[in-house]
Copies of this chain bind each other. A is one copy, B any other.
Amino acid sequence: MTEKRKLTLKDIAKELNISVSTASRALKSHPDISEETIRMVKEFAEKHNYVPNALAVNFRKNKTYNIGLIVPELVHHFFSTVISGAINAAKKRRYNVLVSQSNDILEDEITACRTMLASSVDGLLISISNETLEGEHIKTLIEEGKPVIQFDKISDLIDTPKVIVDDFEGAYKAVSHLIDQGYKKIAHIRGRLEVKNANERARGYKKALEDRGLEFDPEWVKVCSLINEQEGYDFAKELLEGKNPPDAIFCITDLVALGVLKFLKEKAVPIPEEMGVLGFSNWKLAEIVHPGLSSVDQHGYFMGETAANMLISILENEKELVNETLEIKTDLIIRDSTLKNPSIC
């Protein structure tokens, strides 16, 4: 590194025979300073390529213009979409985003929070790990005066503003659509019992069945733990080979639905005629797979933007910190995997 010593205000002041404070004010076009001095200083600064020392400014102002963002997994279509939205929103307001991942491990999440704090972000956006409950590490951040906003995977035990997807409504819409299409025996491959999003989706599923007076068989609810393709495949097998096989399967996420599709294709079950399949998240793969997978879009990009803007508004004191919860509505994306009866759509 050439490490060309950087020009400071002091240098400018000395060079122009003015004081440091005058130079500082001139660069900000402070009203006290004469037009001429301002011009002179700015010209000099421009010419010598003066860049204020950000570290010093941050220190002085006690602000970094960095916000932290922690997700369970980075290589994940939904989360990377959220990150993308958050970064773009932050960029517009001259904030940078420090990204970290917990790998769904509490220990890693705690470390990430600590490093964030140490490298002094002004605030934090977090989607918690499956293992997080009380979130002492998050409360610590808040106590240190760093505002925190939770998004997507949240804990109600941690009192912060929240941006979430309306999972209940998404599931309700999805299952209602299956019913509209004429499916009568709808199964649900759900997520873990301790995870809020999974519970909300399951609740939406149940409610839709109830509201429409459809049969419900507890055997139709399967609980994933890893939430991967293999589980989808295995549960599809279990469901189809059970005593009371369903005629549609609503899956906690697209990846699981993919496993279901795979099993059905192997068994040559016609989709959507004899079995409807519906996913959640509307990943790229839902569009790509064959037949196209109907899914619930969670608007991840918008979620990222919203959470970032919320945080920045708080940081800029545009807005008081109230622990509101913002629910983002989902969109049902209908594709071939549930279009048994296209006319009804």
Contacts and interface: CB of A to CB of B under 8 A. Distances in A.
A309 to B, nearest CB: 17
Interface stretch (A11-19, A38-46, A115-123, A201-209): A115-123
Interface in A106-133: 111-112, 115-120
A37 interface: no
B288 A229 contact: yes
B144 A51 contact: yes
Interface residues of A, number: 56
A97 interface: yes
A20 B145 CA distance: 24
Interface in A50-88: 51, 54-56, 58-59, 62, 64-66, 74-77, 80-81, 83-84, 87-88
Given A65-B119, A119-B64, A74 B87 contact: yes
Given A288-B229, A288-B285, A120 B54 contact: yes
A99 interface: yes
Contact of A96 (B62, B88, B101, B115): B115
A87 B66 contact: no
Nearest to A140: B49
Contacts of A51: 117-118, 144
Nearest to A301: B75
B91 A111 contact: yes
Contacts of A211: none
A10 interface: no
Given A4-B143, A55-B120, A98 B100 contact: no
Nearest to A66: B119
A116 B76 CA distance: 25
Contacts of A99: 83, 87, 97-99
A283 to B, nearest CB: 9
A289 interface: yes
A54 B2 CA distance: 26
A96 B97 contact: no
A64 B91 CA distance: 20
A110 to B, nearest CB: 12
A265 interface: yes
20 contacts: A1-B321, A2-B145, A4-B143, A4-B145, A54-B119, A54-B120, A55-B58, A55-B120, A58-B59, A64-B119, A74-B87, A75-B84, A87-B100, A87-B101, A91-B115, A96-B100, A97-B100, A99-B99, A265-B290, A285-B285
Q: Which 7 A-B pairs have the closest CB atoms?
A: A54-B120, A59-B59, A74-B84, A55-B59, A3-B145, A99-B99, A96-B119
